[in-house]
C-alpha cells in the first residue's frame, strides 16, 4: 500500500519540487546550457559544411588545372633576319586537335615568319601558320609532334554569367599559370576587332595570356583570352575572351581554306536614335539602321534603302550593329537570307543573296 500511495503522491511532490525557486533556477540553467551547447554544435556543423564546400571548390580548381595543363602552350613569335631571329613577342595557345592544330590570337603572330611553340612537357617545336583572321583576332597554327593532348571546345553551350572559370597561359614570362574568376558578362564590345561578341571575366588576364584558354570547371574551353581593359582608364578586373562558338566557326574555316569567308550584304550601318524610332512608330529592340548601300552590292540589288531599321535576319533578332554583322557573317557567301526591316512605319521583308565579304588588306 505504501508503494502504491507513494506512487500516487509522486506527482504532487514533483509539482512542489518544480515550484521551488531553486529548482526553477536549476532548470533554467540547464535549459540555457543546453541551448548554448545546441548552438555550438549547430555552429560547428555549419562550419564543417562550409569547410566541405570550400574544399570541394578547391579540389575542382585543382582538378581542372591539372586536366587543362597538357593542352596549353607557350608561343614565341619573331622575324628572321640575317643575324638570326628578331623576337616580336610572346603569347599563349592551346591544342585544338591531336594532329597538331593550335589556336591562338592573330595579334600574337602578326608579322611573324618564325613561330616557336613550347609544349607543357618542355619540348620546343617550330610551328607553321595555317591561317589567321584579323577581323576576329584568331589564328590557327600547326606543329609536328607526338603525344599532343587536345582540349574540348564548349561551342554548343554559351558561358553563363556567374559561373566559375579559370584563365590559363603564360603571363609576363612567368610560365604556365592559372587564375580564377567568374564570367562577368556576355556580348561585350571593346572596339578591338571587327567582329566582337566577347565574354567578360574577372579572372586575371595579363600580357602573355593572349591566345590562352578560358576554361570551365569541367575542363572545357569557353573562350580565348584576348584583351584586358586599360587600367589607365580605370579598368580593373575586366578581361575579354572570344567565345567558343566563334572560335569553332573561324578555326574550321582557317583549317579548310586558310582564311575566313563571310557573308556580305553590302551596306554601311549606324546606330539609330530613339526619336527616329518614334517617327517610324517602332518600339522594338533593334537600334541598327542602314546608313548607305554599296552600289551594285547585294543590298542594292535586293532593294534595301538608307534609313531601313533591320529587325531580324532569318527570324534571328538583331539589336546592334555588331550583332547584325555577326549574324550575317555566320552565313556562307551565296546564302539567301530574309531580312525583316522597318521602313516608313511598315514592316517589310527583303530577300538578299549574300556576296562574299572582301578580305581585309
Instruction: Give the dihedral sign, CA 60/62/68/73.
Output: positive
What phi, psi does 68 have (nearest 5°)? Answer: -85, -25
Active site residue 281: no
Cell of 3: 508503494
Query: 133, 137, 197, 202: which is the annotated catalytic residue?
Result: 137
Active site residue 216: no
Q: What is the C-alpha separation between 309 and 350, in angstroms, rounded?
A: 12
Query: 71, 77, 107, 308: which is the annotated catalytic residue?
Result: 107
Q: Which residues of 269-304 are buried (b: 16+ CB within 10 A; e: fewer)?
A: beebeeeebeebebeeebbbbbeebeeebbbbebeb
Q: What is the C-alpha separation between 235 and 233, in angstroms, rounded?
A: 6
**Which stretches of 119-266 are assigned E, i.e. beta strand?**
124-133, 138-143, 164-169, 177-188, 198-201, 213-215, 221-228, 239-243, 263-264
Residue written as cell 586575371?
204
**How long, in residues, is the chain?**
361
Is residue 324 within 8 Å of 339, Cβ to Cβ? Answer: no
Active site residue 137: yes
- Cβ-based burial of 158 (10 A; exposed 0-12, middle 13-18, buried ≥19): middle
Query: 210, 245, 286, 308: which is the annotated catalytic residue?
Result: 210
Active site residue ranges: 107, 137, 210
Amino acid at each position: 500500500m505504501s508503494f502504491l500511495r507513494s506512487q500516487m503522491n509522486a506527482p504532487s511532490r514533483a509539482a512542489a519540487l518544480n515550484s521551488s525557486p531553486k529548482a526553477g533556477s536549476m532548470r533554467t540553467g540547464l535549459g540555457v546550457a543546453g541551448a548554448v551547447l545546441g548552438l555550438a554544435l549547430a555552429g560547428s556543423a555549419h562550419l564543417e559544411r562550409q569547410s566541405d564546400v570550400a574544399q570541394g571548390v578547391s579540389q575542382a580548381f585543382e582538378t581542372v588545372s591539372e586536366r587543362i595543363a597538357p593542352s596549353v602552350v607557350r608561343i614565341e613569335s619573331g622575324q628572321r633576319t640575317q643575324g638570326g631571329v628578331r623576337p616580336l613577342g610572346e603569347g599563349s595557345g592551346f591544342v585544338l586537335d591531336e594532329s597538331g592544330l593550335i589556336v591562338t590570337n592573330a595579334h600574337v603572330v602578326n608579322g611573324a615568319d618564325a613561330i616557336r611553340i613550347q609544349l607543357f612537357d618542355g619540348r620546343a617545336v617550330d610551328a607553321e601558320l595555317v591561317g589567321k583572321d584579323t577581323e576576329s583576332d584568331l589564328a590557327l597554327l600547326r606543329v609536328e609532334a607526338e603525344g599532343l593532348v587536345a582540349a574540348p571546345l564548349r561551342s554548343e553551350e554559351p558561358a553563363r554569367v556567374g559561373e566559375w572559370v579559370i584563365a590559363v597561359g603564360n603571363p609576363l614570362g612567368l610560365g604556365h599559370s592559372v587564375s580564377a574568376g567568374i564570367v562577368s558578362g556576355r556580348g561585350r564590345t571593346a572596339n578591338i576587332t571587327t567582329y566582337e561578341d566577347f565574354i567578360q571575366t574577372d579572372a586575371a588576364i595579363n600580357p602573355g595570356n593572349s591566345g590562352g584558354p578560358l576554361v570551365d570547371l569541367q575542363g572545357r574551353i569557353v573562350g580565348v583570352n584576348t584583351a584586358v581593359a586599360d587600367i589607365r582608364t580605370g579598368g580593373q578586373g575586366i578581361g575579354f575572351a572570344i567565345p567558343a562558338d566563334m572560335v569553332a566557326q573561324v578555326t574550321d574555316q582557317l583549317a579548310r581554306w586558310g582564311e575566313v569567308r563571310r557573308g556580305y550584304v553590302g551596306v554601311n550601318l549606324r546606330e539609330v536614335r530613339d526619336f527616329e524610332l518614334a517617327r517610324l512608330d517602332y518600339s522594338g529592340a533593334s537600334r541598327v539602321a542602314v546608313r548607305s548601300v554599296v552600289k551594285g552590292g547585294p543590298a542594292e540589288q535586293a532593294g534595301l534603302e538608307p534609313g531601313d531599321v533591320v529587325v531580324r535576319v532569318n527570324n534571328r533578332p538583331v539589336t546592334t550593329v555588331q550583332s547584325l554583322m555577326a549574324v550575317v557573317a555566320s552565313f556562307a557567301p551565296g546564302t539567301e537570307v530574309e531580312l525583316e526591316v522597318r521602313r516608313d512605319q511598315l514592316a517589310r521583308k527583303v530577300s538578299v543573296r549574300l556576296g562574299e565579304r572582301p578580305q581585309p588588306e
